[in-house]
Structure 1
């Protein structure tokens, strides 16, 4: 029976990790387009953060080549990015046998979401069976400093309902904000009041709400949208 897994790969040599470290308040989602040459193009969607800061980080990053802003909607921007390094240059010091990494591309798995975070990638993937998942996890455990951190592993018995990708802190922040009237018009509460209720900082509340809203949009609405015009 197939499995759905949500996990982190702790490896700061992965593409675009340096960009996120420069702009930590942006959510960066990466898709790989495997139809262009040996290395796939990076299709990058950013939400939040400063557009100028993100684009400056692209320009300064050694693993980013020429990039193009494809379109924008609100504070969401979509870019096509050419890798600035070969696979050997990107990961050769971290992974001694790159043929193993290339073999993962033909594994019985589909990686449907990659969120770039400081220090690595957070991914959601579908795996044909437990052996396929175990092989995938074992590869990254062998080749990364802090390894492979599993957040969720479920059997693919039934489709998940929208919102199941939320973490417990995100769910709690979203529910508290809603119940206190943060989403009302006019707004009846503030980030500071929500922060006091949750006993965290206002900046942490803002981040959790932003990530939770991004996750819900990606699960419910984004799959139905046509591509933005160039």
Structure 2
């Protein structure tokens, strides 16, 4: 049975945390992150940051190929960053043990991750790898998605839950549709492209944490 872990990692102990070096008061919410091979292109929102200094600090890192602005709003910016994930032992430990990043939020000193592993054994191997790499971390919670104490949100991040709930309430999934992605984007303060991606990830997480887990058990 798969297992989900909520974990906090010291920002300075892994490469992406060092790349996205945050000043006090700045926050990052990862929209999409799928480490694979030697490349990874996460999309992430940056809140309350000085735009110029933030971008300059990222471009100074040798493992960063490119940082691209996707959407700019008054209080947040959506970026894509192309970097060499092979230099990051934290993400190496995730991929080596079959893990997936479900959600990630970064602050000045630490990042919070929600990770899914195929089994408790692979989660244990992941934690051993972090200890061997001297990556300081603290586990907040470990649970199986189908247990009663798994919580009501089935792996959805707050932003995914907000988007999916709004889409249902406004009739986006009705036939015929009573709402468009452009209208959802206006309500959420993001682009229609970001809405589409957020809904896609929400549905994947919802199925991942409910239907697929039950299939694995059977």
* TM-score, with length taken from structure 2: 0.59
**1:154–1:23: structure 2 CA closer, same or farther, 3 Å change rule?**
same
Distance between the aligned counterparts of 1:4 and 1:20, measured in 2?
25
5 Å-filtered alignment, 1:154-169, equals: 154-156=143-145, 157=147, 160-162=151-153
Distance between the aligned counterparts of 1:72 and 1:16, measured in 2?
22
The question of whether the paired residues in 2 share the 8 Å contact of 1:17 and 1:117 is answered with no
Q: Kindly indicate whether residue 162 of structure 2 is the aligned counterpart of residue 220 of structure 1.
A: yes
1:149 alignment partner, one of 116, 138, 141? 138
Distance between the aligned counterparts of 2:160 and 2:49, measured in 1?
18
- Residue 72 of structure 1: aligned partner: 72
Distance between the aligned counterparts of 1:86 and 1:112, measured in 2?
17
1:11 to partner: Cα distance? 5.9
The question of whether the paired residues in 1 share the 8 Å contact of 2:27 and 2:108 is answered with no
Task: Output the aligned Cα RMSD.
Answer: 3.6
> For residues 131-152 of structure 1, what are the alpha-carbon distances to aligned partners after superposition, in whole Å with 9 as ceiling and x for unaligned?
121111111112125x331011
- Residue 121 of structure 2: aligned partner: 131
Distance between the aligned counterparts of 1:53 and 1:144, measured in 2?
29
1:66 to partner: Cα distance? 2.0
**1:50–1:68: structure 2 CA closer, same or farther, 3 Å change rule?**
same
5 Å-filtered alignment, 1:55-204, equals: 55-83=55-83, 87=86, 90-91=87-88, 102=92, 104-105=94-95, 107-119=97-109, 121-145=111-135, 147-156=136-145, 157=147, 160-162=151-153
> For residues 3-45 of structure 1, what are the alpha-carbon distances to aligned partners after superposition, in whole Å with 9 as ceiling and x for unaligned?
221002336252342354343322113443557x732223232
**1:219–1:144: structure 2 CA closer, same or farther, 3 Å change rule?**
farther
> For residues 113-135 of structure 1, what are the alpha-carbon distances to aligned partners after superposition, in whole Å with 9 as ceiling and x for unaligned?
12234455421012232112111
**1:228–1:136: structure 2 CA closer, same or farther, 3 Å change rule?**
same
- In structure 2, the gaps of 5 or more residues are 168-183, 185-191, 196-218
* TM-score, with length taken from structure 1: 0.57
The question of whether the paired residues in 2 share the 8 Å contact of 1:16 and 1:63 is answered with no
The question of whether the paired residues in 2 share the 8 Å contact of 1:22 and 1:57 is answered with no
- From the CA coordinates, give the structure whose radius of gyration is larger: 1
Residue 102 of structure 2: SS of its match in structure 1?
strand
Q: Kindly indicate whether residue 26 of structure 2 is the aligned counterpart of residue 3 of structure 1.
A: no
